[in-house]
Amino acid sequence: MVNSNKRRRSRNLKCSNPEVSILKGIPASPGIAIGHAHILDLERMSVKEIDIEESRVEVEVKRFEKAVAKTKKDFASIQRKIANQLGEEKARIFDAHLLMLEDTMAIDETVDRIKKQKKNAEFIFFQNLENVRKTLLDTGDEYLRERAVDLQDVERRVLRNLAGDGQESFDRPEGQSIVLAKFLTPSDTAQLDRNKVLGFVTDLGGRTSHAAIMARSLEIPAVVGLKEVTQKVCPGDLLVIDGVHGIVIVNPDERTLLEYEEKQKLFIEHDLELLSLRDEPAATLDGRSIELQANIELPDEVETALSHGARGIGLFRTEYLYLARSDLPSESEQYEAYASVAERMNPDPVVIRTLDLGGDKFVSGLNIAPEPNPYLGWRAIRICLERKDIFKMQLRAILKASIHGNIRIMFPMISGLGELQEVKKFYYEVQQELREDGIPFNEDCHIGVMIEVPAAALVARELSQEVDFFSIGTNDLIQYTIAVDRGNEKIAYLFNHFHPAVLKFIQMIITAGKERGIWTGLCGEMAGDPLCVWLLLGMGLDEFSMSPIALPEAKRLIRTITYKEALEIANEALSFTKAKDVEDFLRKQLHERLGEIPL
């Protein structure tokens, strides 16, 4: 019923004349790795459709249920292994797998269809999961595409257990090597010996892929999203992985190899220096303190944030509690997630962004219809103001959690004063409802807006009268300002945070905040770009929020300059009229002041 034999691709002819090539992908975990390629052959199983006689239907159902039970045990065993190696936080990756095996769509529906259609379990189960997987892949959202890999992980293991073949589906590297695969599922990574893996390289995946997450946890370099790297590289080829720039060099020449060996040495020394700064304050040489905080998507990421020196959570993306599920999270489920983060970070602040669905993120429970231009459509606060039942549930959960720590609430996609005032009116109604119910919450919970559309930037002075803080969402602000879809590969080169118009908007927002006496942060990818740290510092930014892994470098840069010097750099950078001139100037400043650093 299942053909579990791995199809081996012959590489002998292809590999007879190794050539030097440079491949560009997505930087997923920083560092330099040099080693020989070990290619994991993870071909998908072929599933045949077989008719089942009426008398064998119950036997088929029992066979399927037995395979599911065995798969649960497999994942529980892997989860324990990961917990022992990397801690409980990383082991919770497999919570989603175990939940999928409880999901009625995947399990009960398969049983029902086996009985109705009288087909073999493999075929029915494969069809069910493929439909869901295709839906996730078609959303265009990176996070959901990675959850499709989780689904495939479950699918493959159930099918192997149905076939009675519980053995691992690939050859592990015998010595230290760089692992290449089309993609890596969580159970794939769990099977690898961490002492033998120098780095990961994959055809598919993004920064939220499990290969990337695991690589960052193990602190080994990784480059993902290389498309056809497994077809271009041969087993045993010498590789250089540059996890900072997302580059893979195949069969480097002697000069290139020596160059990267030196870069590897510098990176290790630099990394050790950064680790020593974890508990040091983020303050300039002349004493200006800066809030350095982390962006997180799930409660489990708090430990990573703390280990990299975060002094708060500047952006908790709550929509990820809603994604990759068929229902909506309950109030108690949300409360537990928010409270756990607040308690762990207390007394440092936790900025919780209210639901930001739509655009490229969809939830089946909301029935969001396809739109011609979803980024300009029904999304974020617009959904919340129409679906106030969902908005109320989230606000209640956040407010109830606020007694467990220093929670701040941030509303996304605000485009004008009237919209903000409508949001605040509803927010106060929810507060009053809690008071009447005798439910305690922090009466002084700060509220703010995420400024990510040009209209909000232009009326920042008016908005500042209504809130306690601003947080600049540069990812959307850039795409709306320059009119460029950041997910469109054809025009990706236009997406540039050094564009003078973008910088003028940022300066306008910071100035409006200072005039009102409220603090301004920035939580887009720009905050974690080392070239931008001195620029944003000099522009008067109060708080930087970024991926945890970027925090140590940002702290080091803040501690190597005076605020006066940063102000001079920012003033000159803002005088340029072209993005390239801004970037070149900032790169020159960094090199002249600090010399060669691994950027």
- Kindly name the residue from 210, 446, 497, 499 that is annotated as catalytic: 210
**200-203 — which CB contacts under 8 Å span 24+ positions?**
200/28, 200/29, 200/224, 201/25, 201/37, 201/226, 201/229, 201/233, 201/239, 201/241, 201/248, 202/226, 202/229, 203/227, 203/228, 203/229, 203/230
Give the helix/strand (H/E) hosting 433: helix 417-436
3-state per-residue secondary structure call for 243-299: CCCCEEEECCCHHHHHHHHHHHHHHHHHHHHHHCCCCCCCECCCCCECEEEEEECCH
Look up residue 438 and give its DSSP letter: T
For this structure, is 523 an active site residue?
A: yes
Of the candidates 301, 76, 304, 302, the residue with the CA atom closest to the CA atom of residue 190: 76
- Kindly name the residue from 234, 384, 445, 523 that is annotated as catalytic: 523
Look up residue 381 and give its DSSP letter: H
Do residues 24 and 246 lie in contact, with contact meaning Cβ atoms separated by under 8 Å?
A: yes
Do residues 502 and 474 lie in contact, with contact meaning Cβ atoms separated by under 8 Å?
A: yes
Do residues 510 and 520 lie in contact, with contact meaning Cβ atoms separated by under 8 Å?
A: yes
Q: Which residues contact 270 (CB under 8 A, 6 or more apart)?
A: 597, 598
- Provide the 3-class DSSP secondary structure of residue 54: helix
CB burial class (10 A; 0-12, 13-18, 19+) of residue 286?
A: exposed
What's the CA gap between 391 and 384, in Å, rounded? 5
Structure tokens given for 316: 């908790």
What's the CA gap between 596 and 599, in Å, rounded? 9
Q: Which residues contact 540 (CB under 8 A, 6 or more apart)?
A: 510, 511, 514, 520
Q: Which residues contact 524 (CB under 8 A, 6 or more apart)?
A: 472, 473, 474, 475, 476, 477, 478, 497
Structure tokens given for 560: 């190597």
What's the CA gap between 397 and 400, in Å, rounded? 5
For this structure, is 308 an active site residue?
A: no
Catalytic machinery residues: 210, 523
